[in-house]
Chain A
Amino acid sequence: MGLISKIFGKDLLIGLNRTGRYGVSKPITMQYPKEKWTPYPAFRGTIRHLTKETEEGETRVRCNACGLCARACPAECIHIVGEGKGKDRVPKTFVIDFSRCLYCGLCVEACPQDALEMTSFYESAVYTREEMVFDLDKMLEDYSKWERTFKK
């Protein structure tokens, strides 16, 4: 840097120019509970259970309690007890402990019935550990109703 540019504070002006330009640019802050980030299509959020329509027109869970998801789970957080034989076999209990789940999606991959789905729900913070354990009824619910909203 030459003496002339040093006297006129060229480096200082470069710095001021940079901050000045950022000063008029739009902030990138997302004000979380007010504005929400939309996850990408392949986002792996809280796992959900799907239902299917039978030929008789009744809705029932797709899961037939084969236990492949529990075998695939690296965190061993899925616990299944099935009941019934053949086509009527349904899970008696189906529990995912989301405090242990690492959201890898291997259970979803493993399921031959496509009964599990990774949703885009990510606001899964709760107050107790017990609330993190989801049973079948809870996993059949629509998670979007638990989304956080900004109250004035």
Chain B
Amino acid sequence: MLLEIGIALLKIIVVFALALLTVAYLTYIERKVIGHMQVRMGPMRVGPHGLLQPIADGLKLFMKEDIVPYEAYRFTFYFAPILTLVTALILFAVIPFDKHFAITRLNIGVMYILSIASVGVLGILLAGWASGSKYPILGGLRSAAQMLSYEIFLGFSIIGALMISGSLDLVKIVESQHVWNIVYQPVAFVIYIIAALGEINRVPFDLPEAETELVAGFHTEYSGMKFAYFFLAEYANMIIVCSMATILFLGGWRGPVLPGFVWFLIKLFALIYFFIWVRATFPRYRYDQFMKIGWKIMLPIVLANIVVTGVVMMMVQGG
């Protein structure tokens, strides 16, 4: 009993330490990659090739003054970033990095991730509302509308993969993929990536924090560590959606020669690189167009995809 608890605690510590370190260094990777895509160098001064930059940023944010606006709802203002970060981090609990390495194995892992991820929206909405200022509340409202509508076809887009795998257990989903699901579900994969970009508020769908329109959106009034929480949550969410894509469509830890978790990390970071690449390339969508492609284009395609998948499966398996 004690041994089991010890092992579980050790797993939690390892996963969370690595997750937080990766999240911190994602900011560095993002700045470097975008810098090079703009023929700049990115951070270069703090440590060799700027490698200590995330630590310097963290220290700076940690030592900043804790400012709460006069009109803010104090408790909610403090509570919102914590909620966002916690919901982002507890998602790591079910991600299987290798066949036997996950903090816990839930038989409804996909369900768990989708439901907890939608609680994360609440944090952003609360942050926008509690700031007591115009820009954050607009950002928060946009974020709520965006995340609700994009979560719908995010959920639908993975149904095709779930139908083929026949399970909601993340480990079983990977084990069922002798051929990667992306081969059977290319449309669903593309739509999953688009929905994921919308879900985690990244360019080209970063409407809740559109700098040109809303200053910084829902975190306009936040500074110091509370701002850092939002930042960490955003990057943690990025890792989560990329791991989900890896597990559902790219065969998780499956791959020749190298050990499983290496394959998992290779696929994960390839996807993260793609997300950063997209950020360096595309401008932001207009809000009404963004809603239009969500409801009028993506949703019908995803529904058609589910129908086609079902029909083909019936024909192949002979009912």
Chain A contact residues, CB within 8 Å of chain B: 12, 15-16, 18-20, 22-25, 27-29, 31
Decide if B44 touches A23 in the complex (CB within 8 Å).
no
Cβ of B56: which chain A residues have Cβ within 8 Å of it? none
Closest Cβ neighbor of B276 among chain A residues? A23
Identify which of B33, B44, B282 contacts A12 (C-beta below 8 A). Answer: B282
Closest Cβ neighbor of A16 among chain B residues? B281
Decide if B40 touches A19 in the complex (CB within 8 Å).
no
Decide if B40 touches A27 in the complex (CB within 8 Å).
yes
Cβ of A19: which chain B residues have Cβ within 8 Å of it? 37, 277, 280-281
Decide if A25 touches B277 in the complex (CB within 8 Å).
no
Closest 9 CB pairs of A and B: A23-B37, A19-B281, A19-B37, A29-B41, A27-B41, A15-B281, A19-B280, A23-B36, A22-B37
Closest Cβ neighbor of A9 among chain B residues? B190
A29 to B277, CA, bound (A): 20
Does B278 touch A at the CB level, under 8 Å? yes
Decide if A27 touches B36 in the complex (CB within 8 Å).
yes
Does B39 touch A at the CB level, under 8 Å? yes
Give, as a whole number of angstroms, the nearest-CB distance from B301 to chain A: 10
Does B107 touch A at the CB level, under 8 Å? no
A31 to B40, CA, bound (A): 10
- Measured as residues with beta carbon below 8 angstroms from the partner, the interface class of chain B is 10 to 19
Q: Helix, strand, loop or mixed for chain B's interface?
A: helix
Cβ of B37: which chain A residues have Cβ within 8 Å of it? 19-20, 22-23
Decide if A16 touches B41 in the complex (CB within 8 Å).
no
A19 to B34, CA, bound (A): 9
Decide if A16 touches B39 in the complex (CB within 8 Å).
no
Closest Cβ neighbor of A14 among chain B residues? B281
Most buried by B among A22, A23, A24: A23
A24 to B280, CA, bound (A): 13
A-B contact pairs, 24 of them (CB 8 A): A12-B281, A16-B278, A16-B281, A18-B281, A19-B37, A19-B277, A19-B280, A19-B281, A22-B36, A22-B38, A22-B39, A23-B36, A23-B37, A23-B280, A24-B36, A25-B36, A25-B39, A27-B36, A27-B39, A27-B40, A27-B41, A29-B41, A31-B41, A31-B44
Q: Mark B34-76, 1 if CB is under 8 A from A, else 0.
A: 0111111100100000000000000000000000000000000
Closest Cβ neighbor of A20 among chain B residues? B277
Cβ of A31: which chain B residues have Cβ within 8 Å of it? 41, 44
Known: A22-B38, A23-B36, A25-B39. 19 other contacts (CB 8 A): A15-B281, A16-B281, A18-B281, A19-B37, A19-B280, A19-B281, A20-B37, A22-B36, A22-B39, A23-B277, A23-B280, A24-B36, A27-B35, A27-B36, A27-B39, A27-B40, A27-B41, A29-B39, A31-B41
Q: Mark B159-197, 1 if CB is under 8 A from A, else 0.
A: 000000000000000000000000000000000000000
A20 to B38, CA, bound (A): 10
